[in-house]
Amino acid sequence: MIDARGRSCPEPVLMLRKAMTSKEASYEIMVDNRVSVENITRYGQHEGYRVTVEDREDEYLLRLEK
């Protein structure tokens, strides 16, 4: 799991992009702002992943799966 809480865009997207070099079938990333949710969702879909978002009060858990 990638913990990107407390970081503002584009840093969470860059952290995910770096992790994606491993070519895994799924990833999880935790963020704490809506802008990051939108940007990660857009990036993940562009890379061919299905993105689901779980709202956990002040945090969001995004799951990306091929």
Contact 40, 14 (CB under 8 A): no
Which residues are CB-neighbours of 49 under 8 A, at least 6 positions away?
Answer: 26, 27, 64, 65, 66
Helix (H) or strand (E) holding 45: helix 34-46
Q: What is the CATH number of the domain that holds 35?
A: 3.30.110.40
- Host domain of residue 49: 2-65
Contact 40, 12 (CB under 8 A): yes
Per-residue tens of pLDDT for the chain, all 66 residues: 999 999 999 999 999 999 999 999 999 999 999 999 999 999 999 999 999 999 998 999 999 999
Please tell me the total count of domains within the chain: 1
- Directed axis angle between helix 34-46 and helix 11-19, to 10°? 30
